[in-house]
Amino acid sequence: MIRRAKIICTIGPASRDPETFRRLVDAGMDAVRVNFSHSSHEDAAQTIELAREVSRDLGTPLAVLADLQGPKIRVGVLPGPVPISNGEIYVFEALHDADAGTTAGAIPITYPDLASELEAGDRLLFDDGRIAFSVEGMDGNRVTARARTDGTLLSRKGLNLPGKALQVPSLTDKDRADLAFALEQRVDYIALSFVRRAADVSALRELVDDDGVLIIAKIEKEQAVRNLVEILALADGVMVARGDLGVELDFEEVPIVQKRVLRLSQESVSIGITATQMLESMTASTRPTRAEVSDVANALLDGTDVVMLSGETAVGEYPVEAVEAMDRVARRIENESGFLEDPSDIGAPTVRSGVHRTVPGAIAGAATEATHRLGAPFLITLTTSGFTARLLAAQRPRVPILAVTDNSRTYRQLALAWGVVPIHHDEPVGYDGMLARARSYAFEHGLAEPGRHCVVTAGLPFDVPGTTNYMRVETL
């Protein structure tokens, strides 16, 4: 059985050696995440080259996702751990260079305009909300706040300010340098952190326009949830980044937001990724908890295209076992009777996204319905940009989608498209040749036998992306 949902693995010290990396691919990894919050350019280049090498050797596509750090506000460098006592007053100093130290007794913060954007009563949440303060006053670049929890504050821990619309730019100088490096490396996806509004995505789009890279907007701010529809209109995909999202929102709101994001991403033909703490216990255990298994299963039932592993594969003790567990859960859920019940119905026509009411959307819907009526073993799409394949995936057909493309980057990008089997065509582009490539792949992999019907979709002419306008029934 071909697994429909895809798996992203964050690559780090636990998974960067070639042997472990290959085992991750064998276990089911479809894409690698390079996290620029922790990866140097040297480490990132090594990971990307390894991904391309293994992809060539194994003849399987591997997408590369470059995850920009974004304007994360952090504690600067402290002389040592700072014990925090509930009810006590502490002073924070907002600096341009928070690593250079502060005046005596103050805790350095990496956002120099922090004090000017706060008000009395605002909450300061450190270390994913584990340590909380309430603001009592500001004086110049200094903020006085009262602790609301006990704990120990360490250097470089993140700071969240729930409900605050800070003026910090969506792309920092570090992000721009990392982005330039990632584009030089020809990565397949760029993930933009701390998106708040559609303009943040537009700013990144201007920097990568015509490059062919796809943009993933990370939904981890309350503002992003409010502006979700506008963000989805501009991004190629969204990530439900539940770590920071769970700090920005009341934790009981996160499951509802997750369901809404995944639903809207499918309707808008955007890739939906669910991330953070999916199998967290497997950083130090060979087996997931029952709650984690249920979490992964529910994300799949919510309609996620992709599930992502972070620390489990980056620094965990059992990275391969974590991927194997994720793969097992996905296959079991997808094998459940009724999982794809009425899969082409993703909402009443009056409420569906506009893309489903276009000519390409109509072709995709008709191709899916024809495939089901004919009992065809798969769908075939001939695509240059990958849009046709993603549009078909949004219909959630009961059968695999064989996507034939002559574009090597599209071939890798489609490794993250739900239910899609990317097939690279390295001969001159043409209907007959690309169909023959799909036929030979299907016979070689035991997906069908001669004489069966299959449905083919394409955009003609081939060199015009986004023009899905053709459907035909072929006999294998």
CATH of the domain at 155: 2.40.33.10
In this structure, the answer to whether residues 199 and 51 fall within a common structural domain is yes
User: pTM for the whole thing?
Assistant: 0.92
Q: Rounded distance, CA 235 to CA 468, Å?
A: 20
User: Is 96 contained in some domain?
Assistant: yes
Does residue 441 have a pLDDT over 50? yes
In this structure, the answer to whether residues 180 and 303 fall within a common structural domain is yes
In this structure, the answer to whether residues 42 and 181 fall within a common structural domain is yes
pLDDT at position 350 is 41
In this structure, the answer to whether residues 50 and 196 fall within a common structural domain is yes
In this structure, the answer to whether residues 206 and 315 fall within a common structural domain is yes
Q: What residue numbers bound the domain in which 315 lies?
A: 6-70+170-334
User: Is 344 contained in some domain?
Assistant: no
In this structure, the answer to whether residues 25 and 78 fall within a common structural domain is no
User: Is 1 contained in some domain?
Assistant: no
Q: What is the mean pLDDT of residues 179-208?
A: 96
In this structure, the answer to whether residues 37 and 111 fall within a common structural domain is no
In this structure, the answer to whether residues 20 and 120 fall within a common structural domain is no
In this structure, the answer to whether residues 413 and 430 fall within a common structural domain is yes
- pLDDT tens digits for 56-65? 999 999 999 9
Number of structural domains, the chain? 3
- CATH number for the domain spanning 400: value is 3.40.1380.20
User: Is 165 contained in some domain?
Assistant: no
Q: Rounded distance, CA 313 to CA 324, Å?
A: 11
In this structure, the answer to whether residues 415 and 457 fall within a common structural domain is yes
- The residues that are catalytic are 33, 74, 218, 276
User: Is 349 contained in some domain?
Assistant: no
User: Is 341 contained in some domain?
Assistant: no
User: Is 347 contained in some domain?
Assistant: no
In this structure, the answer to whether residues 218 and 325 fall within a common structural domain is yes
Confidence grade of residue 168 (pLDDT, cut at 50, 70, 90): confident
Last residue of a domain, one of 160, 194, 215: 160
Q: What is the mean pLDDT of residues 403-420?
A: 97
Does residue 395 have a pLDDT over 70? yes
Residue 190 β-bridge partners: 66, 215
- pLDDT tens digits for 446-475? 999 899 999 999 987 776 766 788 899 999
In this structure, the answer to whether residues 52 and 111 fall within a common structural domain is no
Does residue 347 have a pLDDT over 50? no
Does residue 102 have a pLDDT over 60? no
Q: Rounded distance, CA 24 to CA 316, Å?
A: 13
User: Is 444 contained in some domain?
Assistant: yes
Q: Which two tokens stand for residue 323?
A: 């991927």
Q: Report the range of poorest mean pLDDT among 13-27, 309-323, 335-349, 418-432.
A: 335-349
pLDDT at position 97 is 64
